[in-house]
A = this chain, B = another copy of it.
Amino acid sequence: MTIKLAELRYFCAVVQTGNLAEAADRLGRTQSALSMSLKQLESHLGKKLFHGERKSQLSPLGEQVYELAQSQLQQFDQMVESIETTAHASNGLVRVASVPSVAALVFPKLLGQMADQIPGVKIELRDTDTRQVIDSLANGKADVGIASGYHALNGVVAKPLFEDQFGLVGATNHPLISQAQPPLIDDVVTSVFIRNTLCDLIRTPGFVKALKHVNVTIQNNYSLINTISAGRWVSVLPETVTAFLPSSVAFRPIADLPAKREVWLYRRERTYFEETVDACCGFIDAMALDYKQP
């Protein structure tokens, strides 16, 4: 007999609630059912999963198991949902994964068009970073992907979607924004510069070099924009990201920074509902045209 999924599910619930009664309540089971299940899991592993007698503190092994089990359960549930949706959708399910900036731009409109033109279609939209987009495609967990740059992938066809000029983002009244002449890299990448994840896509040597001395980084774009709108700080972002800037923040090109972000559209071959996925890609492609020739 091996470890069962239900055992892990119970275990995780107990970890989250910190006691049997609450976990049992949440799962619609009794305390004793959980108690026995945990005991079985522990005896299978030959070690305790919790510290002390109560279920409030994990042992080191428990920590490890919790982490693994948690992500496994999440994945499993996601897979089940995906299977069920596919099975029940009359016009199929299209799973689209995209980097957040493009997702914000594309998803609302895409959702509308799909729903209007393909009755009964189901759509699953996810925004993550390029790495995970590519991964989802590779694992068959997404049918369509939008990501930065080109990545060769088996069973997936890629096509360039649009290019996206990098430029300065700063508060409207920041000197670098308001000054007459266009700023240069060296003006921008100074002590008021905040690095962000998208900066890593830039290969312009002068910029890469300047970036080495920057020591403020903000991972989350929303926090980044917020910080910038306070007035003191600036950053560099692709132009389409700035479609969502508040009026207190503005975008302008940097004279000696020609770098563009290449956004690519990926499509899995041999998908369940070919036509639906084709239509989806068509919509995305059409939208991209709006950005290609502004």
Which of A78-86, A176-184, A236-244 lies at the interface? Answer: A78-86
Q: Bound complex: CA of A177 vs CA of B135, how far in Å?
A: 38
Contacting residues, chain B, for A75 (C-beta < 8 A): 72, 75
Number of copies: 2
Q: Check: A88 CB closer than 8 A to any chain B CB.
A: yes
Are A5 and B5 closer than 8 Å at their CB atoms? yes
Q: Check: A40 CB closer than 8 A to any chain B CB.
A: no
Are A197 and B83 closer than 8 Å at their CB atoms? no
Per-residue interface assignment for chain A, residues 197 to 220, with 1 indicating a CB less than 8 Å from any chain B CB and 0 otherwise: 100000100000000000001010
Q: Output the least CB separation between A134 and chain B (Å).
A: 7
Contacting residues, chain B, for A45 (C-beta < 8 A): 83-84, 87-88
Are B84 and A152 closer than 8 Å at their CB atoms? no
Chain A residues with a Cβ under 8 A of chain B: 2-5, 45-47, 60-61, 63-65, 67-69, 71-72, 75-76, 79-80, 82-84, 86-88, 131-132, 134-135, 139-141, 152, 197, 203, 217, 219, 270, 272
Are A61 and B76 closer than 8 Å at their CB atoms? no
Q: Bound complex: CA of A219 vs CA of B71, how far in Å?
A: 31
Are A87 and B152 closer than 8 Å at their CB atoms? no
